[in-house]
Amino acid sequence: MSNALAPWRSPLSHALHRNRSQPFSRYLQLATITPDGYPANRTVVFRGFTPQGNALKIITDSRSEKFQQLHHSPWGEICWYFSQTREQFRLFGSNEALPT
């Protein structure tokens, strides 16, 4: 496994830093797929990067629909707009549930 940072990681860190005066810069949208194949989207809070650096930490309740959906299909997409620097990030990836 490579220790290299993903290409989006440094630009995203910069955006977080440059938009740090706006607390809502840590809100992003997370889209998942329902068992019926429909999209499901909602706002969540960014809680930092994982120690390896190439994944985002998001906290939720294991009883939530998003958790159940990610269990069924681990694929999701985030969309994150930084209003101060007017940048949008869209990242597609899969869930890796971490123990609490």
Applying CB under 6 A, the residues found at the interface with ligand FMN are 27, 40, 42-45, 58-60, 64-66
Give the nearest distance from C-beta 8 to ligand FMN in angstroms: 20
Indicate the residue among 50 and 64 with the shorter CB distance to ligand FMN: 64
Give the nearest distance from C-beta 10 to ligand FMN in angstroms: 24
Give the nearest distance from C-beta 19 to ligand FMN in angstroms: 15
Please identify which residue in the block is written with the tokens 């706002």. 43
Q: Based on C-alpha coordinates, what's the Rg of the chain?
A: 14
| 2 vs 37: CA distance, rounded Å | 33
Indicate the residue among 7 and 23 with the shorter CB distance to ligand FMN: 23
Indicate the residue among 12 and 56 with the shorter CB distance to ligand FMN: 56
| 94 vs 55: CA distance, rounded Å | 9
Nearest to 17 by CA among 60, 38, 46: 46
